[in-house]
């Protein structure tokens, strides 16, 4: 076990949390709790936590562990649970907590941590395991609080907003009064009134700095404790120097006071941060994504609701009376309507098409407890993760802060050694205030949030913001064929009435177990040709991706195969139906090109993207489609594994169900067909509209995001360089710097909003 030494203080610090070790403890830990957690992690093979803690991104300081043998008595009725965790502070916590499935494979299926909200989502193997999982989390040094839904975490954020608003109000009232008292001082008032106003300004500055401005002290303290250079360090240094210099001047009677600048600076800093924080919160996609899919519902569980034709269902429920048809395509990707009967389930976000009479549904789940809401909550958890660009922006801000602080120290030394202490303090104060890099640090995540919101309005649900970050680097795009470039609603050309009853039942029983578009078309053909077929319970059934279906008859021991064949001379896709190796019939499939395919392909070609078809279909069918849409490169007969080998550093656009492996392997992936549940699991972006019409729009906005970030970087860097020069040369005083600093943040923000604003 290595003991960590803090070079600044030359004192021993705790191996686990980094806090000072009391003199009476010589084992490298500040408390028994930290020592216990260290032993638990080391024994479990999770020692990499400490390596990641040193090299990762820190959000707030680690705290000493209050270790206890607390027994948890949580009770839940579903395996997906959420914990609000106390003690989450850095990327190492993310790494550690998301190893719960490996540490408890018999208790936890999956888990994910939302760092921004300290919310851990856990999928349990069994609901009885929740207390043992909570105990493990507690043993690792985090205090778990079971929450019913994300609303509880949101309420904590709202509570924090109210506290910030109170601090801002107090700071504003103080700044206004100090400014009023500064007017007679600047006007030349003398005598006891001058002393009275100066003392009153001092008295008001104390709560402004040490109460309203306590957030700056906390942020700096947290940064130093976590061994990262805090972004508020220069600001706090400027505030402290201004306060104590003004206090010393008040005592000595030299009348060189900065209490007005100090209180105004505290107010302006708090105001700009509160405003930008609220804007960022309001722009977060997960706060409004449900409204995109469903409107408010006033009912409650247990109510009976009559469905109307064309109505978008706003709750999860069970059909209690009547029959009808519903569109479940958002969830399943199946475009055929689903017949509803008594006892069937309906889900929020689906569309009720029609009924043969009245149809009544009992409400079971509403609001954020519906299947749709739970699905979108998973999206929100991924959206909260930081992109590489955001991490690089933070690193740049850290380097800038370190550079500015070094310049400030050198400048102070120069002015003090040359007998210009007062002038030096004034110039260094202005330097430290005006060069705060928080404008860029705040604007970068804001740009991604705004872009995701804009894309959602257009019909693209972005699960992973890394897709926007990586898309500008894409030069090669691969497209799936069926359902992506074509309608995906194949029409089967076959005379089913020519088949024997036994063979037609076998074919029907095979295709009904597959969700492939070809199988669905054959199943529709049975209904269209009014061919009745019984259902066979196969003794064995296998669906080979890209090849076909195989089933073994349990009684006659016959083996049936419905497999893909070479395309016909006309380029139509064909499948063949075999019984024990003997050909029974051929099935040809017709599929029309989507109306938006050719215009989208032309847009992409004008932007110089390399385009290719990547399909499991036969050569002639793929070649024919490639020629029709103007794509020169194509690859046919590709299995899912072969597809995934093509697209490691490219974009894949395909079916969220049948192309899941390729989508999950691509650098950037967009699912334009298939059910939302399957697509969200495999793709980074899900198109709410079928076809590739929105792919050029996504690439355009991603490039606009990249250019906006570069513009913000240039603006922020130029502003800081000019401000530094003006401050050190004496052409900018601290008050002007205090006004310009938040103004720069707002400039960068509005620049982002204007550039990313959706074109009408």
Mean pLDDT comparison of 71-75, 359-363, 474-478, 726-730, highest-scoring range: 474-478
pLDDT band at 441 (very low <50, low <70, confident <90, very high): low
Percentage of the chain exceeding pLDDT 70: 77
Write out the two tokens for 389. 């660009």
Residues 300 and 279 in one domain: no
Residues 264 and 169 in one domain: yes
Query: Which residue spans within 418-555 are E strands per DSSP?
Result: 460-462, 476-479, 491-493, 540-544, 548-552
- Of residues 191 and 670, the one with the higher pLDDT is 670
CATH code for the domain in which residue 127 is found: 3.30.70.100
pLDDT given at position 606: 92
pLDDT given at position 359: 85
Residues 323 and 181 in one domain: no
Residues 476 and 417 in one domain: no
Q: What is the pLDDT of residues 123-176, one digit of tens each?
A: 888 888 888 888 888 877 777 888 765 555 566 667 767 888 888 889 889 988
Of 48-52, 377-381, 406-410, give the lowest mean pLDDT range.
377-381
pLDDT given at position 185: 77
Residue 93 domain-assigned (yes or no): yes
pLDDT given at position 604: 92
Domain boundary among 95, 130, 155: 155
Work out the angle between the directed axes of helices 233-252 and 259-283 (0-180°, nearest 10): 160
Residues 86, 117 contacting (CB under 8 angstroms): no
CATH code for the domain in which residue 627 is found: 3.40.50.1000
Domain boundary among 155, 174, 205: 155
Residues 478 and 578 in one domain: no
Q: How far is CA 121 from CA 79, 111, 127, 212, 612, in A?
A: 10, 5, 14, 35, 39
How far apart CA 642 and CA 639 sit, in angstroms, is 5
pLDDT given at position 138: 81
pLDDT given at position 288: 44
Please give the average per-residue pLDDT across 719-728, as a whole number: 86
Q: Which residues contact 106 (CB under 8 A, 6 or more apart)?
A: 125, 129
Residue 545, φ and ψ in degrees, nearest 5: -60, 130
How far apart CA 33 and CA 13 sit, in angstroms, is 15
Residues 66, 33 contacting (CB under 8 angstroms): yes
Residue 218 domain-assigned (yes or no): yes
How far apart CA 117 and CA 85 sit, in angstroms, is 9
Residue 474 domain-assigned (yes or no): yes
Is the Cα dihedral 630, 633, 635, 640 positive or negative? negative
Mean pLDDT (the chain) is 77
CA atoms within a 13 Å half-sphere pointing along the CA-CB vector of 90: 23
- Of residues 278 and 451, the one with the higher pLDDT is 451
Which residue bears the tokens 């497209």? Answer: 479
Domain boundary among 235, 251, 283: 283
Residue 539 domain-assigned (yes or no): yes
pLDDT given at position 679: 66
Percentage of the chain exceeding pLDDT 90: 5
Residues 481 and 605 in one domain: yes
The DSSP bridge partners found for residue 119 are 84, 114
Residues 509 and 599 in one domain: no
Write out the two tokens for 716. 């922020």
∠ CA 257-170-198, rounded to 5°: 20
Residue by residue, DSSP assigns 107-167 as TEEEEEEETTTTEEEEEESSGGGHHHHHHHHHHTT-EEEEESSHHHHHHHHHHHHHHHHHH
Residues 163 and 254 in one domain: yes
Residue 653 has pLDDT above 80, yes or no: yes
How far apart CA 454 and CA 742 sit, in angstroms, is 26
pLDDT band at 379 (very low <50, low <70, confident <90, very high): low
pLDDT given at position 57: 45
Residue 8 domain-assigned (yes or no): yes
Residues 111 and 171 in one domain: no
Residue 699 domain-assigned (yes or no): no
Residue 99 domain-assigned (yes or no): yes
Residues 539 and 449 in one domain: no
Please give the average per-residue pLDDT across 653-663, as a whole number: 73
Q: What is the pLDDT of residues 563-602, one digit of tens each?
A: 887 655 555 678 889 998 889 898 888 778 888 899 999 9
Residue 290 domain-assigned (yes or no): no
pLDDT given at position 760: 41
CA atoms within a 13 Å half-sphere pointing along the CA-CB vector of 459: 15
∠ CA 358-361-367, rounded to 5°: 135
Write out the two tokens for 576. 């063949």
CA-only gyration radius of the chain, Å: 32
Of 436-445, 559-568, 706-715, give the lowest mean pLDDT range.
436-445
pLDDT given at position 290: 47
Q: How far is CA 713 from CA 303, 557, 719, 729, in A?
A: 54, 70, 10, 24
Which residue bears the tokens 């400027």? Answer: 238
Of 378-387, 423-432, 460-469, 744-753, give the lowest mean pLDDT range.
378-387
Taking the C-alpha atoms of 521, 527, 533 and 536 in order, what is their torsion angle to the nearest 10 degrees? Answer: 40
Write out the two tokens for 536. 């066979």
Residues 96 and 212 in one domain: no
- Residue 23 exposed, middle or buried by CB count within 10 Å (0-12, 13-18, 19+): exposed
Give me the number of domains the chain comprises. Answer: 7
Write out the two tokens for 197. 């106003």
Residues 723, 435 contacting (CB under 8 angstroms): yes
pLDDT given at position 695: 92
Q: Report helix, strand or coil for 413.
A: helix
Residues 243 and 264 in one domain: yes
Mean pLDDT comparison of 56-60, 177-181, 187-191, 555-559, highest-scoring range: 177-181
Residues 615, 550 contacting (CB under 8 angstroms): no
pLDDT band at 51 (very low <50, low <70, confident <90, very high): low
What's the domain range around 93? 80-155
Closest CA to 464 of 120, 704, 698: 698
Q: pTM of the prediction?
A: 0.60
pLDDT given at position 46: 72
Residue 729, φ and ψ in degrees, nearest 5: -85, -5
Of 32-46, 67-81, 106-120, give the lowest mean pLDDT range.
67-81
Q: What is the pLDDT of residues 286-330, one digit of tens each?
A: 444 445 555 567 777 888 888 887 777 888 888 888 888 787 666
pLDDT given at position 285: 41
Closest CA to 745 of 427, 265, 165, 269: 269
Query: Which residue spans within 435-547 are E strands per DSSP?
Result: 460-462, 476-479, 491-493, 540-544
């Amino acid at each position: 076990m290595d003991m960590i030494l803090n070079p600044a203080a030359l004192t021993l610090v705790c191996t686990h949390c980094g806090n000072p070790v009391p003199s009476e403890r010589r084992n490298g830990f500040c408390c028994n709790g930290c020592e216990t957690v260290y032993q638990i992690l080391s024994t479990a093979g999770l020692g990499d936590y400490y390596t990641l803690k040193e090299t990762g991104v820190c959000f707030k300081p680690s705290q000493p562990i209050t270790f206890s043998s607390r027994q948890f008595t949580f009770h839940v009725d579903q395996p997906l649970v959420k914990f609000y965790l106390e003690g989450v502070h850095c990327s190492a916590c993310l790494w550690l907590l998301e190893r719960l499935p490996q540490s408890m494979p018999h208790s936890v299926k999956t888990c994910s941590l939302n760092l921004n909200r300290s919310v851990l989502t856990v999928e349990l193997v069994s609901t009885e395991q929740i207390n043992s999982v909570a105990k493990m989390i507690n043993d690792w040094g985090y205090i778990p609080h079971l929450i019913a839904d994300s609303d509880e975490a949101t309420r904590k954020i709202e509570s924090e907003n109210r506290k910030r608003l109170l601090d801002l109000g107090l700071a504003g009232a103080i700044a206004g009064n100090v400014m009023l008292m500064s007017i007679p001082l600047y006007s030349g008032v003398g005598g006891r009134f001058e002393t009275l106003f100066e003392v009153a300004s001092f008295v008001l500055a104390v709560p402004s700095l040490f109460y309203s401005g306590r957030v700056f002290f906390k942020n700096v303290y947290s940064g130093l404790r976590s061994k990262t250079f805090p972004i508020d360090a220069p600001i706090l240094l400027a505030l402290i120097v201004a306060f104590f210099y003004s206090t010393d001047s008040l005592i000595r009677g030299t009348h060189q006071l900065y209490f007005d600048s100090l209180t105004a600076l505290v107010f302006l800093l708090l105001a700009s941060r509160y405003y930008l924080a609220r804007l960022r919160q309001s722009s977060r996609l997960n706060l409004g994504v449900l409204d995109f899919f469903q409107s408010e519902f006033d009912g409650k569980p247990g109510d009976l609701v009559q469905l109307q034709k064309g109505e978008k269902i706003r709750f999860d429920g069970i059909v209690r009376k009547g029959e009808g048809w519903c569109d479940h395509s958002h969830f399943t990707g199946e475009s055929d309507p689903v017949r509803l009967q008594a006892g069937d389930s309906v889900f929020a976000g689906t569309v009720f098409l029609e009924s043969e009479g009245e149809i009544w549904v009992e409400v079971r789940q509403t609001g954020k407890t519906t299947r749709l809401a739970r699905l979108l909550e998973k999206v929100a958890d991924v959206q909260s993760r930081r992109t590489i660009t955001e991490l690089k922006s933070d690193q740049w801000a850290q380097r800038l802060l370190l550079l500015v602080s070094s310049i400030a120290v050198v400048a102070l030394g120069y002015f003090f050694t040359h007998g210009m202490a007062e002038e030096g303090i004034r110039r260094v104060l202005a330097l430290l205030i005006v060069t705060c890099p928080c404008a860029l640090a705040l604007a970068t995540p804001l740009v991604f949030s705004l872009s995701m919101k804009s894309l959602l309005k257009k019909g693209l649900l972005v699960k992973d913001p890394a897709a926007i970050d990586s898309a500008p680097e894409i030069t090669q795009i691969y497209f799936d064929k069926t359902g992506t470039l074509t309608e995906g609603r194949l029409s089967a050309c076959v005379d089913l009435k020519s088949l024997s009853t036994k063979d037609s039942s076998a074919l029907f029983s095979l295709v009904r177990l597959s969700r492939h578009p070809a199988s669905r078309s054959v199943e529709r053909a049975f209904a269209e040709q009014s061919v009745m077929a019984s259902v066979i319970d196969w003794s064995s059934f296998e669906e080979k991706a890209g090849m076909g279906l195989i089933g073994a008859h349990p009684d006659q021991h016959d083996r049936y195969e419905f497999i893909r064949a070479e395309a016909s001379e006309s380029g139509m896709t064909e499948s063949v139906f075999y019984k024990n190796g003997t050909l029974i019939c051929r099935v040809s499939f017709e599929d029309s090109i989507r109306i938006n395919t050719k215009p989208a392909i032309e847009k992409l070609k004008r932007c110089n993207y390399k385009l290719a078809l990547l399909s499991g279909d036969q050569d002639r069918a793929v070649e024919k489609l490639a020629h029709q849409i103007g794509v020169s490169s194509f690859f046919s007969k590709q299995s899912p594994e072969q597809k995934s080998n093509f697209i490691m550093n490219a974009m894949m656009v395909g079916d969220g169900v049948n192309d899941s492996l390729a989508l999950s392997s691509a650098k950037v992936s967009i699912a334009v067909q298939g059910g939302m549940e399957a697509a969200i699991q495999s793709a980074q972006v899900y198109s709410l509209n079928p076809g590739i019409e929105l792919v050029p729009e996504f690439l355009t906005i991603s490039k606009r995001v990249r250019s906006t970030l570069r513009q913000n970087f240039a603006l922020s860097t130029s502003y800081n360089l000019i401000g530094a020069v003006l401050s050190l040369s004496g052409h900018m005083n601290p008050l002007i710097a205090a006004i310009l600093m938040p103004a720069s943040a707002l400039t960068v923000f509005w620049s982002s909003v204007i550039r990313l604003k959706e074109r009408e």
